[in-house]
Amino acid sequence: MKTVAVTRIGSLRDPDESTRGRIGVVDLPEPALGPEDVRIRVAYAAICGSDPHLAEGFFGTDVPIGLGHEISGVVEALGDRATRSGLRVGDRVAGNFLRFCGSCRPCQEGKQQFCENIQEYNRPGMAETLTWHESQVYRLPDDVSLLRGCLLEPISVAVRIADKTRVRVGDRVAICGGGPIGQLALQVMKRHGATSLTLIEPIAERRDMALRHGAEFVIDPIAEDQQARAAEITQGRGYDVVIDASGSPHAVRGLLDVAAKGATVVYGAMYPERYELPLNLSDYLYLKELTLTGVFVSPYAFPRALQLLPHLELDELTQAVFDIDDAEEAFAVHVSGRFPKVVIRCNDIDDGTAS
């Protein structure tokens, strides 16, 4: 079956075409349908900010590396015992690309993100079909289209980020990075009762997008004095919750200075493997008592992401759609940053009446 894959390791931004990472459509075998498995005919698979990291060999260098973990589709077949969540052939679904096994020690200790068998069902979703364990699959609400449904996974990341902030109603919140995760985290934090809600982002289009969806303030960290602006917005106190969704080494250090005393700072992106954050323990952990944390994957977040899905404003994230045969072009457009999100149509599926 057709699958979008990394076919040559390298940076997708490399100006030299002979060494640039390459994306192509390859033919990979369809996995067997196990008794507890669900086969999904994939409708849409969105490109994630982490996909270019895969092209650079972050999780391995043996090509082809199949891509795609933000998907929606229609159930095509069910294993004999895939009955526990009530799924039926024809159901419109989305889900979690990781299966948490439930049997290993971390799973039993409430830390599914560290499941020791997490990769077992991590299969490429930018493909004609995708075979998952039934525990990974969630039926979409009737009023959510397949196109919007492929955003369930990034929404689950925003939910998990919110969990890690331990935000309280009324907390002052800043988010750094206006890509899809930053924008979704903004909408989720707004619904959490965030105040002084601020997006820190150098690209004007992304700042404007945040202002359309609930940000009260924006800071351009290049043109403005970020710390001074943050002090102005928060009456000199700083933000109670600071979220990084940029993954940028240039951006992450300054976030410690916009955080209030006692704040939580969530580094919620992927970072360059060898980057080290300079951290003055006396200033930031002793005197300011900051809590620094991060997000690897999103356990326990999907049911709540599904509840939020119909209520979030997602139209701006679903404007750019490319057919699977044009995947290479889709990735070029993703890298260009022309659209906040790029989606690949893996099959042309009639979506009934959902909008």
Question: Segment contacting Zn ion (CB under 5 A): 22-30, 98-106, 185-193, 297-305?
Answer: 98-106
Q: Residue 104, interface with Zn ion (CB under 5 A)?
A: yes
Residues in a beta bridge with 44: 72, 345
d(CA 136, CA 97): 7
Calpha distance 288→277 (Å, rounded): 17
Q: Which stretch binds Zn ion (CB under 5 A): 44-52, 201-209, 234-242, 340-348?
A: 44-52
Identify which of residues 258 and 269 has a Cβ nearer to Zn ion in the complex: 269
Q: Least distance to Zn ion from the beta carbon of 299, Å?
A: 10
101 binds Zn ion (CB under 5 A): yes
98 binding Zn ion? (CB under 5 A): no
Smallest separation, CB 105 to Zn ion (Å): 8
- Nearest distance in Å: CB 351, Zn ion: 22
Q: Which of 115, 189, 209, 255 binds Zn ion (CB under 5 A)?
A: 115
- Please report how close the Cβ of residue 49 comes to Zn ion at its closest, in angstroms: 7
CA-based angle 145:149:152, to the nearest 5? Answer: 155
The least CB distance from residue 350 to Zn ion, in Å, is 27
Q: Least distance from C-beta 3 to Zn ion, angstroms?
A: 17
Residues 117, 307, 346, 341, CA torsion sign: negative
Among 4, 40, 43, 48, binds Zn ion (CB under 5 A): 48
Does residue 107 belong to the site contacting Zn ion (CB under 5 A)?
A: yes
Residue 274: Cβ within 10 Å count:
6
Nearer to Zn ion, 140 or 269 (CB): 269
Measured CA to CA, the distance from residue 192 to residue 151 in angstroms comes to 20
The minimum distance between CB 192 and Zn ion, in angstroms, equals 21
> Whose Cβ is closer to Zn ion: residue 21's or residue 49's?
49
Strands (E), the chain: 2-8, 22-27, 37-46, 65-66, 70-78, 92-95, 129-133, 137-139, 172-176, 195-200, 217-219, 239-244, 259-267, 291-294, 320-323, 342-345
Region near Zn ion per CB under 5 A, out of 52-60, 93-101, 184-192, 314-322: 93-101
Q: Does 144 bind Zn ion (CB under 5 A)?
A: no
Q: Is 147 left (phi over 0), alpha (psi -120 to 50) or beta?
A: alpha
State whether residue 323 is helix, strand or coil.
strand
**Range in contact with Zn ion (rule: CB under 5 A) among 27-35, 86-94, 110-118, 313-321:** 110-118
DSSP secondary-structure letter at 219? E
Phi (first) and psi of residue 80, to 5 degrees: -55, -35
Residue (134 or 171) nearer to Zn ion, CB:
134
| Shortest separation between residue 101's beta carbon and Zn ion, angstroms | 3
270 near Zn ion (CB under 5 A):
no
Give the integer Cα–Cα distance in Å for 255 and 233: 15
Q: CA-CA distance, 176 to 247, in Å (whole number)?
A: 9
Give the whole-angstrom CA distance, residue 131 versus residue 287.
51
Q: What is the DSSP letter of 286?
A: I
Q: Which is nearer to Zn ion, 186 or 230 (CB)?
A: 186
**121 or 322, CB closer to Zn ion?**
121
- From the CB of 193, what's the least distance to Zn ion, in Å? 26
* Cα 211 to Cα 205: distance, rounded to the nearest angstrom: 10
- Which residues of the shown chain bind Zn ion in the complex (CB under 5 A)? 48, 101, 104, 107, 115
